[in-house]
């Protein structure tokens, strides 16, 4: 039963890793450049973590099971934060992409693209709604987990 749950958790986490790894890597580098604190050491630590995950990709559930409860919680918080960051970036790109289309008046300049722009807006509407639901769900889960942990301390 626990092994099955770990496999499901490993599959879910692997999907999140694949979609978010680029945003995460870029934001960590940008943040450390702004802070100017041990950039090379931070990049090396990130590379070590990614190499560990990529080398043990098929064995991720057992690797996850070897972690302590605090490490599992920290890993879950990292992945949930990355998912929220990814969703926020999607919402921002949808908003500013539409602003750019309006600013350059692409619908009037290129009437053949107007239909595709309308399809894009419809898709972006659903995409933004889905990302907002994802952010709310993840935030609720993180709050629930933190309250549960705090209750037992």
Q: Where are the domains of the chain?
A: 1-66, 67-153
Measured in whole angstroms, the distance separating CA 83 from the mean position of its chain's CA atoms is 3
Tokens 């879950």 appear where?
76
Instruction: Choose between 130 and 30: higher pLDDT.
Output: 130
pLDDT tens digits along 45-86: 777 777 777 777 777 777 778 878 887 888 888 889 889 999
pLDDT in the model for residue 27 = 55
**143's tokens:** 């709050």
Cα separation values, 79 from 53, 61, 101, 112, 150, Å: 13, 15, 33, 41, 20
Q: Which letter does DSSP use for residue 36 in this model? A: T
pLDDT tens digits along 1-45: 555 544 544 544 544 454 454 455 555 555 555 555 566 776 777
- Is residue 111 scored above 80 in pLDDT? yes
pLDDT in the model for residue 57 = 72
């Amino acid at each position: 039963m626990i092994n099955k749950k770990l496999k499901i958790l490993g599959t879910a986490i692997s999907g999140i890793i694949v979609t978010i790894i680029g945003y995460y890597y870029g934001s960590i580098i940008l943040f450390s450049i702004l802070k100017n604190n041990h950039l090379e050491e931070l990049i090396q630590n990130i590379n070590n973590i990614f190499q560990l995950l990529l080398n043990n990709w098929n064995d991720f559930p057992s690797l996850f099971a070897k972690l302590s409860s605090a490490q599992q919680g920290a890993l879950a918080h990292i992945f949930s934060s990355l998912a929220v960051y990814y969703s926020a970036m999607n919402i921002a790109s949808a908003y500013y992409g539409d602003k750019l289309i309006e600013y350059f008046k692409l619908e009037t300049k290129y009437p053949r693209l107007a239909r595709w722009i309308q399809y894009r807006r419809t898709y972006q509407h659903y995409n933004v709604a889905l990302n907002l639901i994802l952010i709310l769900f993840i935030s609720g889960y993180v709050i629930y987990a933190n309250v549960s942990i705090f209750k037992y301390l």
